[in-house]
Amino acid sequence: MPPVTPSDQHVLGVILAGGSSRRFGRDKCKALLGGRPLLEWVVERACPQVGTLLLNTNKIAEDTGTAILERIADKTPGEGPIAGILVALADAERRGFSRVATFACDTPFFPHDTVMRLDLALSSSTADYAVASCGATAHRIFAIWPVECRAQLEDAFAAGTRSVRDIEHWLEPTWADFPKAGGPGGDPFFNVNASSDLEIAEQWLVAQRGATKY
């Protein structure tokens, strides 16, 4: 098959930001990293990789520097990321996209070729969807989902499945492995769960400036 470009128009992107940020203690999307809201870092990385980028959030629209993004809310708020994936798949089908790429809202340094690698991994396998991994660690929010997955995901959700890990009992994943490069500790999918993680990300960013543009 021909190479898949990062801006392939058949992929709808969605940033999953429907959680309550309990561990962080405040809205992590608005937390500043390098003087900019954390969500801006994610938007900047995700936007060139997809045909259209949406923000899945259950909060009232606020100024986080991403007002240009269309927002989609869960039909069942507070029920975890699968609810956001489902509403994105429904929206993708309505818009004529064949696949949805999902991004975490708290992972500022993910690779610029994330969607391309996920798409190639899925297209080269017989699996139902593709998930990012780095070494032995799976990063299940970073995934690509064909719209055909929607019915089985709805069944899983109706049966009480809320964990993206448990989706593997319903759908077969394939893995797109990423090298250790970029991000604190060489983790390209380093995510900000707590204030201490934000401090680590800030320190890493300061160390990188002058050598690499981020």
For residue 1, what pLDDT is reported? 33
For residue 6, what pLDDT is reported? 45
Please report whether residue 81 resides in a domain. Answer: yes
Please report whether residue 5 resides in a domain. Answer: no
Q: Do the bridges between strand 137-146 and strand 129-134 make them parallel or antiparallel, or are there none, so unpaired? A: antiparallel
Structure tokens belonging to residue 179: 């090298």
CATH number of the domain enclosing 73: 3.90.550.10
Structure tokens belonging to residue 59: 């909060």
Structure tokens belonging to residue 196: 């201490």
Helices (H), the chain: 38-46, 81-95, 114-123, 150-158, 195-208
Can you tell me the mean pLDDT for 18-28? 61
Can you tell me the mean pLDDT for 184-209? 90
Q: How confident is the model at residue 4 (pLDDT cuts 50, 70, 90)?
A: very low
Among 77, 90, 83, 88, residue whose Cα is nearest residue 160: 83
Q: Is the pLDDT of residue 74 over 90?
A: no
Can you tell me the mean pLDDT for 5-34? 74
Task: Give the integer Cα–Cα distance in Å for 202 and 38.
Answer: 11
For residue 14, what pLDDT is reported? 97
What is the domain extent for residue 120?
11-208
Please report whether residue 4 resides in a domain. Answer: no
54-58, 160-164, 210-214: the lowest-pLDDT one: 210-214
Can you tell me the mean pLDDT for 99-108? 96
Please report whether residue 94 resides in a domain. Answer: yes
Number of domains in the chain: 1
Going by the DSSP 8-state scheme, the letter that residue 167 receives in this structure is G
Q: Is the pLDDT of residue 32 over 70?
A: yes
Q: Is the pLDDT of residue 2 over 80?
A: no
Q: How confident is the model at residue 182 (pLDDT cuts 50, 70, 90)?
A: confident
Count the residues in the chain: 214
Please report whether residue 214 resides in a domain. Answer: no
Its pTM stands at 0.89
Please report whether residue 185 resides in a domain. Answer: yes
Q: What is the pLDDT of residues 121-144, one digit of tens each?
A: 999 999 999 999 999 999 999 999
